[in-house]
Structure formats: C-alpha cells, structure tokens
Amino acid sequence: MDHKLVIPNHILLEEVATLLQEGRDVTLSPKGTSMLPFIKEGRDSVILRRLPDVEEGDIVLARLDNRYVLHRVLTANRNRLTLMGDGNLDITETCTKDDVLGTVIGVVRKDKSKKPSKGVLWKYLLPFRRILLGIYRRISL
C-alpha cells in the first residue's frame, strides 16, 4: 500500500527555503496549472538551486507576502522582477530579487532531467496563449 505524506505548503516551502539558503539543491513536485504547458502537476518535478543572480526567462520559486509561486521572470529591472506563469494569460506579480528562494535548473519528466528554456518564443506568443492553452487542454485530457 502506498502511503503519501502531505505537508502543508507553508511548512514544506519554509524548509525548502532553508535548504536552498544552505546551498543545497531541492527537487519539488509543483502544484497548480500556472506553468502549463511546460511544467505539469503530477507529471513533472523541478530541481531548484539558489543562484547568485536572476535573469529574464528564469523560472523561480518566490515568496510573495504569505504565498509562494513558481513562475517565470518576465522582466528584470535592477532589483525589481515581474513574474508570470507560463499558463497565465494576464496575471503578473512583482517582487525583488531577495524574494526569490531558488531558480529552476532542471525539469524532471520520466526520470530524465532537462534544463528549462528561457521561454523567449512563449513570451512573444503571449497574445495567442489563450488559444494555444485551450488547444493544449483539449488534447491532453
């Protein structure tokens, strides 16, 4: 029988933040649909590492007030970042580089790790995301 330990996000992610701060890599199974179609709950895991800097196109785990998001850096202006999930159509968040706990250095699917792209093409397809995500959701049922 499989036993699954479910830990509330605020407890789990505080521990993840501590491990990343200590310089350790952390593998995490993300929740939600905000990073579709590139990262899917139940299919993919991400490998996080605390890097010295954050760049546009990076996928980051950030603490925003009392919640956490795994989103892509849309713009980076000095210390200010604008984040947006790949599966989002118009919702963005802003934070500072200090709010970033770690950067995705690998996406694990079927026991194979792949370095994530910077999402440049996906960024330019923003006006068409509603259509593309609608098609993706219909074919991946």
pLDDT (tens digit, 9 = 90+) per residue, 60-114?
A: 999 998 899 999 999 999 999 999 999 999 999 999 999 999 999 999 999 999 9
d(CA 105, CA 20): 13
Instruction: Spell out the residues 6+ positions from residue 32 whose beta carbon is closer than 8 angstroms to its own.
Output: 41
User: What pLDDT does residue 141 have?
Assistant: 56
Q: What is the pLDDT of residue 73?
A: 98
pLDDT of residue 2: 64
Chain Cα centroid distance, residue 60: 5
Per-residue pLDDT reduced to its tens digit, 23-49: 999 999 999 999 999 999 999 999 999
Burial of 101 (0-12, 13-18, 19+ CB in 10 A): buried
